[in-house]
Amino acid sequence: MSTPAANSAKITIDPAFTVGPVRRRTFGAFVEHLGRCVYTGIFEPEHPMADADGFRADVLELTRELGVSTVRYPGGNFVSGYRWEDGVGPAEERPARLDLAWHSTDPNLVGVDEFAKWSVKAGVEPMMAVNLGTRGTQEAVDLLEYCNIDGGTAFSDRRRANGAEQGYGIRMWCLGNEMDGPWQIGHKNALEYGRVAADAARAMRMVDPDLELVACGSSAPGMDTFGEWERVVLTETYELVDLVSAHQYFEDLGDLQEHLSAGHRMDSFIRDIISHIDHVKSVKKTAKQVNISFDEWNVWHAGRDESKVPSGKDWPVAPALLEDRYSVADAVVVGDLLVTLLRHTDRVHSASLAQLVNVIAPIMTEPGGRAWKQTIFHPFALTSRYAAGTVLQLAVESPWLSGGKTEDFAALSAVATFDAEAGEAVVFAVNRSAAEALSLDAAVAGLGNNVRLIEAVTFANKDPYWHATADDSTSVLPAENVSVKLDGGRLTAVLPAVSWTMIRLAVES
Ligand code: AHR
């Protein structure tokens, strides 16, 4: 990347240069038994908008509008102490259990059968995690049998007795969660985890060789073990898994310019993980390619009161936890993180925004009341709706920025997708500057002579700390960017400071 004049950036879009397909699974999310994500989030039988199964119809509708593809379930830290059998069978016979991860009580009114039903209604692909914290291979295989075998065995017949004739055919399975973290119930060192994961993977593949299995990578780039963990775990599991997980959260610690470098930091993390995967591949001299499941990512203001878990004798059911309120700046960061994931579509094959409802979430609910969209809803929904076809490799020239402890990073973060069949190219562009507008000059002649502007929208606000509430979730929305002009093979735009922009072009051949 070279450096043009201050406050101006250039990109060249040419469909001859591609990164890989736009993967629907990039637009996944996450539902954990945590706080109010499940109870009073997706499930609230007493709510006036609850359907016959107790699911909130307003949340289902927003989930579909968000354009979520895959949904990871049931955790997160929760899964490492979870007995899936507690959550199946007649609701009145299910035990309430202590959830040690979040110091709460889980009434187990939602379990795998409810989640599978909800997934069908939401139009999402379920992605299941097994407990490799307090449990192991046997329970993972039992759950797989319960979910995916059509019938004729103890667990599959139990599922049928519980109302689901056909198996759920769940393809993606996470082998535990964040097992490198000392906070994790059943925390293990890399070799201990690698061996358990390999054993569970081998047995699960005996049930179904076509599963797509995700080994736990490091829970954050800042973990002391990051890198060595991947090396040891993949040395044990390389031929048995398809993906290694990546988790990364970003916090606004008061320096807006540094907060806006989140996409750059995610980019470095992805590059590092690729090096660690490919090191093991090279040592093993194998043709098999393991890729990345970025199955937890978002802004999470983890230091704020919202993230304080209950303590002592207080074990509430569905307490308000991690109910972060997101600013416009946070939404710009989320838009940039999606741009970054798309730019790595050759190696990031799946991703999950953590989480979906109430808990660090784009969708919020009031118990018994309204459901509403946070700021981060908008860039996610628009990217999911319009990114299609192929991700293009852009030539980018951008000025550089400095922010806090982060190394210098480009002011412009951009990606373009091209759907030849639909005749549409879309540019997603983020101005990471906290202070200055950026002029964008895009060479689009490579798209041909018949290019037309369909629409250009920008999400920005004079006050980048504005956030939506239940009473006002609509006064700041993505709005038309009137500066965008297309003249011959040249597209120009002004990207305000702290902004996310989407430009859609019709391309006729
Ligand atoms: O998403 C919230 C928590 O963050 C998850 O339970 C855990 O996996 C991660 O640390």
What pLDDT was estimated at residue 1?
59
Q: Is 260 left (phi over 0), alpha (psi -120 to 50) or beta?
A: alpha
- The residue whose CA is least distant from atom 8 of ligand 1 is 76
Whether the model clears a pTM of 0.85, i.e. scores above it, the answer is yes
Evaluate: CB of 352 within 6 angstroms of ligand 1.
Answer: no
Nearest CA to ligand 1 atom 6: 76
| Residue 35 CA, ligand 1 centroid: distance in Å | 12
CA distance 471 to 372: 9
Of 30, 79, 177, 322, the residue with max ligand 1 atoms within 8 A of its CB, to mutate for a pocket test, comes to 177
Q: Give the residue, by CA position, lying nearest to ligand 1 atom 9.
A: 76
Work out which ligand 1 atom sits closest to the CA atom of 78: 6
Residue with the smallest CA separation from ligand 1 atom 3 is 76
Give the pLDDT confidence score for residue 488 in this predicted structure.
86
Ligand 1 close to Cβ of residue 99 (< 6 A): no
CA of residue 80 to ligand 1 center, whole Å: 11
Of the candidates 293, 130, 131, the residue with the CA atom closest to the CA atom of residue 217:
293
Q: For residue 206, what are the contacts with CB-CB under 8 A and spacing of at least 6?
A: none
pLDDT, position 509: 80
Residues with a catalytic annotation lie at 178, 296
Instruction: Select from 170, 151, 171, 173 the least CA-distant residue to 162.
Output: 151
Q: Which domains does the chain have, with CATH numbers?
A: 8-16+391-508 (2.60.40.1180), 23-376 (3.20.20.80)
Give me the pLDDT at residue 2, please: 54
CA distances from 502 to 147, 165, 212, 275, 384 (A): 40, 44, 32, 31, 12
Residue 77 alpha carbon to ligand 1 centre in Å: 6
- Stretches where the chain sits below pLDDT 70 are 1-6
Pairwise CA distance, residues 171 & 214, whole Å: 11
Assess whether the C-beta atom of 355 lies below 6 angstroms from ligand 1.
yes
Smallest Cα–Cα separation from 466: which of 285, 267, 287, 332? 332
